[in-house]
Chains A and B, each alone.
Chain A
Amino acid sequence: MSRPEGTRSARRSLQVKFVPDEDVLRHIADDAGTKVRKDKAQLSVSVKRFVKKLENISDNEAQEILEEKNYVAALGICAQDSVGNGSNISGGEVYSFQTPKRSNKMAELASELAQTPEKNVAPDHSRCPEKMAKTPQSKRSSSTKVQQRNKKKEFVSTTPYRLRKRLTAPDPYLESESEYSASCSEEEDEEDKKEVSTVSDQKTPAKTKAAYTPPPRNSLTKKIKEQKMSNLVEEYFEAHSSSKVLTSDRTLQKLRKRRFNQQTLHDLLKNAPLAYAAEIRDLNQQHETLFSKWMLQLHLGFNIVLYGLGSKRDLLEKFRTSLLQDSVHLVVNGYFPSITVRSILNSITEEVLDHIGTFRSPLDQLEFISKRFKEDSSLELYVLIHNLDSQMLRGERSQQILAQLSSLPSIYLIASIDHINAPLMWDQAKLSLYNWLWYETTTFNPYVEETSYENSLLVQQSGSLALSSLTHVLHSLTLNARGIFRLLAQRQLEKKDSPSYPGLSFQDFYQQCREAFLVNSDLTLRAQLTEFRDHKLIRTKRGADGVEYLLIPVDDSTLTDFLEKEDEDV
């Protein structure tokens, strides 16, 4: 949008005007009929991008800050009467993206600016779109393509006065479209091709007839309205059917920047100033006034679940330190990568109930716990679970057990959820066991602790934990054993590029170990492997043909590091 179009070269005076993409599209659509609609998906993507650029450039900084502050204040109010805004709005209001509307405004603004005579248009022209075009090595394919499209359209639009007429009437239909079209960005390439044909379509309608076999023009214009709906549906599936997804080849490795490890990341962010700290603090203080209400409701048999954006860890910690100091309570970090229901139950039986002994199954353990709590009415336990919806706890069985635990009258559960689909974990039966009261506690706090474990995407997957444990265990083994493990690691690294690598088969491995003089018999190797398995250093899998395959369940980079370290040691 807001693209300068050099028109009327006949007059020689270059007149630049901002024309929203929708209008261009509408203009084309009028002539080319339904076919064009296929393009508007990615067209409006470009619309958005341009708008954002333009806004950023043209927006006055101070103004921006002011607006942000207003916004946060508004958010604070939103959280204040949490329900008032949060859940009373109908889904449609919330989920429709508002950007296109804004973009129109911006376009109007821009066209106004462009029309003011004293303002020179040239710098504006060079500032936004051309710069994008000038950075081809950045390979931001979308932006360059947008440029290409621009050129095409400049070529197409030969009737500028019609365009100008349209400027006054923004198209609501297109606006509403942009929401879903944003998801089609991957198909831009193909659509670009289509667009090329659209252009030709416009120029020589006869030609396109052969290419697309559209209905005769008269009926086409009549049917456009009728077809609108069915076309939408078809287009949707068309857009989503292509299995070929084109994505950029740029990876983080191409950045000349080492991946951070967790520590440096943490330090960096700690030093970075938190935006809107004061507002966020106010918001959290409002949440804190709810504490005694929570206690009351917990005691009346409800359990409490907190949801909303932002880490709720600090809030719960505050709740714990301010109200639970004098009572027995259990804190569970659900986001801890190796948390299990078993460990939660164990800490209840072992530490809270001082029971020594093991249980056959979690169900038995649960039964024991409920019996003890029912017998002794003075027993009370507060359970705080950060991230009840974490990877480890979201399983059906875990949730069932936790729900049953929470349904005990003297166990008070207060938990937080973050995942957007977290409520799907619970069916009616579990919900009634949990007996939740929902509280929206949007805190806007960064998820520092929750994302601090090494399961995150872009953090260096050093696996320093895994690595240290590997070396630790290996050092306690004999030289031969280490050799065997090394051999296995090397073989695995050789095959790291084949994703379907099942592991090294036992027979091959035995052969290689023999050749390296590491073992002298089948049995010694087996004994060694058993030891590895006990330390969880390797995993064995039986293939379809019954052959045993050996695999080290550590990612490649860790394995490489490990081998390097070993080489240093030797």
Chain B
Amino acid sequence: MSTCSVSKGCFVFKPSTKKRRLSEKTDHYFRSTSNDSEDTVLRFITCQSLWSQIKSETEQIQEDMNKQLLDNLVSFLSRSHSDFQEKTTEWTSRMKFREIPTAALVLGVNVTDHDLTFRGLSDVLQNNITPYVALLEAKDCPGIKNLMQKLMGQLMNCDIDVDSLEDEDCVQVSQNKIRCSMPSLISWYESVTKKTDSETPSEKRNSSSRHWQSPPVVVVFKDMESFTTKVLQDFIVISSQHIHELPLVLIFGIATSPMIIHRLLPHSVSSLLCIELFQSLSCKEHLSTIIDKLLLTSHFPFKLGEKVLQVLINIFLYHDFSVQNFIKGFQLCIVEHFYSQPLSVLCCHLVDIKKRVYSLSHDQCENIRRLPSFRRYVEKQESGKQIELLTNDSFLKEETEKLLEDLHVYHENYVSILRCLHVFTSSLPKYPLGKQIRELHCACLENQVWETNEYESSLQLARMLNKTDLVTMLQQCVEILVSSSGKEFDKTVKHLKEFLTQFQNLEASEASQEQDVSVSSQKELQKKTDLYHLQKTLLELKESRRSKKLTKFEMLRFEVVDYIDRLVRKYLVPAGDRTLHEIVYFNAATVLRGHLNAAPRTALHTALNNPHWYLKAFSTVVTAAEEPNGDAASSDQVDDIIHARFIRAVSELELLGFIKPSKQKTDHVARLTWGGC
């Protein structure tokens, strides 16, 4: 069946039910492209399980991050609600002023992440405070009528959820018939609250354990800035008239700043609101936590290469501030890695490695031998081992297993030492290696960090740290290393602890020494009285004191910094230098960037940026002009094909958005791009 028609734009194709496959398995598509079919299923399963782990982890993080905010909100809501419940004086006074309790929720500019927050919010509210939560979005509410409709629809739906199903019909009917107005909303609210009152005691107890007697009605404006001012104003004014009948609470989701409320609403309206401000955690902190929990951990076998991580972070920082998009990019990385790298079957947890390595096929072994990092490794071995590695599959498998375990250990150590280094670099002035651990991580992944100038200057600065800072940093490092899962750090910890005690000893000895010196010098001073000698002794004293004191502390400081430097050189080797890193690290940054941060304009331009084509087009014109000029008629008579090609070219340019009819003159077009009219 063709999809070209002059009368229709949509074509539905429904295969007969018996031909229709019952939802094609996704792994089918995973399989069909790669040549080595035996591992694809396993690869796909690994990929999916890894992704689901990461997904649940990120959701957990999100929940934890929002917990504080939600707790505050809940307490605010229950407070405003309890007033209504007890009809206290505060409530009556508020009633007199017709103020609506309002929570202004400043969420930041990463609008795409807000959905998740709101979902969590409404869940929490429905579990703890009230079943009556309505989430409104600006795009659904172009007018006050739509807003009321949407509001009532949502409220009554949630009523259905609470009530038993038998009520559904009557509610359904009422929803269609009721005129959407405030009085009808109030009457609905009264009937609902009364119903819960008259319910059987058991049920009542059940519900009251969760919700209060007459729970507030929470209306959430998800994107307050996008609402039209009039709709908001009308709604607030109307509902403030009814606040004594309907315990309404508003929540404004704000992306920019709380000032927007006053800019959107005139004083007469904003004075009807009793606003309390809530601030969510910034998206940058959120991202840091995500990176911390997803990348700087040995829980997940899959790792991101430097360029890839840089691309993801750049998209985050320069495009959207959206953590969701970052996670989406991460998902794409996982999929791409498992899809394109046949050896990614080995990208699994340590416990599974042995089994998987030994079940590798010969082709896969060949794949391993083809890995650049493995080839480099082989070249370093002595010739006998080289031959073994290249010819003997089982020997290769043994070696591979060992190397993968090494890689795993390397990563564990890497993370711990990275954190230690970050403790140092994050407190240096001007942050030569970056303030965030992600910057440090990128720097270390990229190349040997100790070769860089930034590292050099960081060390210089670290050699000038004062003692208290140094001691606290060392203590932090000890904590990090003790809590890390790496097993090699016992010695390091011991060493660091030694440093700490030395610092303490230094303090004590210094103090005593100082006392000695000062006492003795004072004695001397008392003895000698002539000016010349006094001056001389003072100078000597100064000299000796400085050189002595500095040597002691500085020596130790140098030692500490050198020790850290040694640790860095030992453990923070860039991942690209490790053998078999291709199995675990995803490095195809260009692919990722092309898919996530594409540049359609550039693509179009490169395709059209061919001078030759213009010349070709030009030759058409030239040939027309080259015809004998005497006969004007023949030069006007253009070849049909050329004419047709010209027409198509013009319509294509129009389709691509380069030109449009200028409407001012027949047959004239205006240029639209790159400095058009």
Instruction: Please report A residues at the B interface, Cβ cutoff 8 Å.
Output: 52-53, 55-57, 59, 64, 67-68, 71, 75, 78, 81-89, 91, 94-95, 98-99, 102, 131, 134-135, 137-138, 180, 183, 245, 247, 251-257, 260, 265, 268-269, 271-272, 289, 292-293, 295-297, 299-300, 302, 307-310, 317, 324-336, 338-339, 343-344, 346-348, 351-352, 363, 378, 380, 400, 417-423, 428-429, 431-432, 435, 437-440, 442, 444, 446-447, 449-451, 453, 456-459, 465
Note all chain B residues with C-beta closer than 8 A to A420: 600-601, 604, 656-658, 673
Contact A326 B20, CB 8 Å, known A86-B606, A296-B339: yes
A97–B267 CA distance with the chains assembled, in angstroms: 55
- Give 5 A-B contacts (CB < 8 Å), ordered by A residue: A255-B636, A292-B33, A317-B3, A351-B12, A432-B325
Q: Give the distance to chain A from B26, nearest Cβ to Cβ, in Å.
A: 4
Q: Give chain B's interface secondary structure class.
A: helix
- Please determine whether B594 and A82 come into contact, CB atoms closer than 8 angstroms: yes
A64–B613 CA distance with the chains assembled, in angstroms: 11
How many residues from B make CB contacts under 8 Å with A? 101
Asked if B615 is an interface residue, CB under 8 A from chain A, the answer is: yes
Q: Which of A183, A428, A447 has the most CB of B within 10 A?
A: A428
- Please determine whether B629 and A134 come into contact, CB atoms closer than 8 angstroms: yes
Q: Tell which of B10, B612, B648 touches A451, judged by Cβ atoms closer than 8 Å.
A: B648
Closest to A78 in B: B606
Asked if B384 is an interface residue, CB under 8 A from chain A, the answer is: no
A270–B320 CA distance with the chains assembled, in angstroms: 46
Closest to B677 in A: A245
Asked if B268 is an interface residue, CB under 8 A from chain A, the answer is: no
Note all chain A residues with C-beta closer than 8 A to B15: 325-328
A321–B609 CA distance with the chains assembled, in angstroms: 33
Closest to A308 in B: B603
Note all chain A residues with C-beta closer than 8 A to B14: 328, 351-352
Closest to A420 in B: B657
Contact A457 B23, CB 8 Å, known A256-B633, A420-B601: no
- Please determine whether B9 and A339 come into contact, CB atoms closer than 8 angstroms: yes
Q: Tell which of B10, B611, B647, B674 touches A99, judged by Cβ atoms closer than 8 Å.
A: B611
Contact A435 B11, CB 8 Å, known A85-B606, A254-B636, A449-B4: no
Note all chain B residues with C-beta closer than 8 A to A138: 625, 635
Q: Tell which of A64, A256, A299, A442 touches B29, judged by Cβ atoms closer than 8 Å.
A: A299
Instruction: Please report B residues at the A interface, Cβ cutoff 8 Å.
Output: 3-6, 8-15, 19-24, 26, 29-30, 32-33, 111-112, 139-140, 320, 322, 324-325, 328, 331-332, 335, 339, 590-591, 593-612, 614-616, 618-619, 622, 625-626, 629, 632-633, 635-638, 640-641, 643-648, 650-652, 654-658, 661, 665-669, 671, 673-677
Contact A457 B654, CB 8 Å, known A297-B335, A299-B26: yes
A59–B615 CA distance with the chains assembled, in angstroms: 11
Q: Give the distance to chain A from B160, nearest Cβ to Cβ, in Å.
A: 14
Note all chain B residues with C-beta closer than 8 A to A423: 600-601
A417–B591 CA distance with the chains assembled, in angstroms: 20
- Please determine whether A435 and B328 come into contact, CB atoms closer than 8 angstroms: yes
- Please determine whether B629 and A83 come into contact, CB atoms closer than 8 angstroms: no
Note all chain A residues with C-beta closer than 8 A to B4: 333, 449
| 20 more CB-based (< 8 A) A-B contacts, given A86-B594, A268-B641, A457-B669 | A52-B618, A53-B622, A56-B615, A87-B599, A94-B606, A256-B633, A265-B648, A317-B3, A328-B12, A330-B13, A331-B3, A347-B12, A400-B139, A420-B658, A421-B673, A428-B320, A429-B112, A440-B603, A442-B607, A446-B648
- Please determine whether A307 and B667 come into contact, CB atoms closer than 8 angstroms: no
Contact A418 B648, CB 8 Å, known A83-B591, A253-B666: no
Contact A309 B604, CB 8 Å, known A247-B665, A331-B13, A432-B324: yes
A296–B23 CA distance with the chains assembled, in angstroms: 13
Note all chain A residues with C-beta closer than 8 A to B654: 451, 456-457
- Please determine whether A440 and B598 come into contact, CB atoms closer than 8 angstroms: yes
- Please determine whether B594 and A438 come into contact, CB atoms closer than 8 angstroms: yes
Q: Give the distance to chain B from A316, nearest Cβ to Cβ, in Å.
A: 9
Contact A458 B650, CB 8 Å, known A339-B10, A428-B320: yes
Note all chain A residues with C-beta closer than 8 A to B614: 52
- Please determine whether B11 and A330 come into contact, CB atoms closer than 8 angstroms: yes
A119–B652 CA distance with the chains assembled, in angstroms: 44
Note all chain B residues with C-beta closer than 8 A to A446: 648, 652
Q: Give the distance to chain B from A156, nearest Cβ to Cβ, in Å.
A: 28
A318–B598 CA distance with the chains assembled, in angstroms: 24
Note all chain B residues with C-beta closer than 8 A to A67: 612
- Please determine whether A55 and B615 come into contact, CB atoms closer than 8 angstroms: yes
Note all chain A residues with C-beta closer than 8 A to B21: 326-327
Note all chain A residues with C-beta closer than 8 A to B331: 300
Q: Tell which of A251, A252, A308, A344 touches B604, judged by Cβ atoms closer than 8 Å.
A: A308
Q: Which of B612, B641, B673 has the most CB of A within 10 A?
A: B612
Q: Give the distance to chain A from B572, nearest Cβ to Cβ, in Å.
A: 28
Closest to B588 in A: A83
- Please determine whether A307 and B335 come into contact, CB atoms closer than 8 angstroms: no
A3–B21 CA distance with the chains assembled, in angstroms: 72
Note all chain B residues with C-beta closer than 8 A to A135: 625, 629
- Please determine whether A447 and B655 come into contact, CB atoms closer than 8 angstroms: yes
Q: Give the distance to chain A from B116, nearest Cβ to Cβ, in Å.
A: 11
- Please determine whether A98 and B111 come into contact, CB atoms closer than 8 angstroms: no
Closest to B335 in A: A300
Q: Tell which of A269, A299, A309, A449 touches B644, judged by Cβ atoms closer than 8 Å.
A: A269
Note all chain B residues with C-beta closer than 8 A to A351: 12, 14
A272–B594 CA distance with the chains assembled, in angstroms: 35
A346–B11 CA distance with the chains assembled, in angstroms: 11
Note all chain A residues with C-beta closer than 8 A to B23: 378, 380
A420–B22 CA distance with the chains assembled, in angstroms: 39
A352–B593 CA distance with the chains assembled, in angstroms: 36
A119–B385 CA distance with the chains assembled, in angstroms: 71
Q: Give the distance to chain B from A61, nearest Cβ to Cβ, in Å.
A: 10
Give 4 closest A-B pairs by Cβ, nearest first. Answer: A83-B594, A336-B9, A438-B598, A339-B9
A289–B340 CA distance with the chains assembled, in angstroms: 13
- Please determine whether B602 and A87 come into contact, CB atoms closer than 8 angstroms: yes
Q: Give the distance to chain A from B207, nearest Cβ to Cβ, in Å.
A: 27
A363–B29 CA distance with the chains assembled, in angstroms: 34
- Please determine whether A87 and B594 come into contact, CB atoms closer than 8 angstroms: yes
- Please determine whether B19 and A326 come into contact, CB atoms closer than 8 angstroms: yes
A440–B593 CA distance with the chains assembled, in angstroms: 12
A245–B676 CA distance with the chains assembled, in angstroms: 13
Q: Tell which of B19, B625, B633, B671 touches A183, judged by Cβ atoms closer than 8 Å.
A: B671
A328–B651 CA distance with the chains assembled, in angstroms: 33
- Please determine whether B651 and A293 come into contact, CB atoms closer than 8 angstroms: no
- Please determine whether A87 and B667 come into contact, CB atoms closer than 8 angstroms: no
Closest to A346 in B: B10
A67–B616 CA distance with the chains assembled, in angstroms: 12
Closest to A335 in B: B655
- Please determine whether B652 and A296 come into contact, CB atoms closer than 8 angstroms: no
A411–B635 CA distance with the chains assembled, in angstroms: 56
A78–B606 CA distance with the chains assembled, in angstroms: 9
Note all chain A residues with C-beta closer than 8 A to B666: 251-253
A299–B324 CA distance with the chains assembled, in angstroms: 19
A64–B614 CA distance with the chains assembled, in angstroms: 13
- Please determine whether B10 and A343 come into contact, CB atoms closer than 8 angstroms: yes
Q: Which of B640, B652, B668 has the most CB of A within 10 A?
A: B652
Note all chain B residues with C-beta closer than 8 A to A272: 641, 644-645
- Please determine whether A86 and B602 come into contact, CB atoms closer than 8 angstroms: yes
Contact A296 B606, CB 8 Å, known A325-B15, A331-B3, A459-B651: no
A297–B24 CA distance with the chains assembled, in angstroms: 13
Contact A429 B13, CB 8 Å, known A135-B629, A256-B636: no
Closest to B643 in A: A257
A55–B613 CA distance with the chains assembled, in angstroms: 13
Note all chain A residues with C-beta closer than 8 A to B647: 260, 265, 456-459
- Please determine whether A440 and B10 come into contact, CB atoms closer than 8 angstroms: no
Q: Give the distance to chain A from B279, nearest Cβ to Cβ, in Å.
A: 21
Contact A295 B29, CB 8 Å, known A89-B606, A324-B13, A437-B595: yes
Note all chain A residues with C-beta closer than 8 A to B640: 268
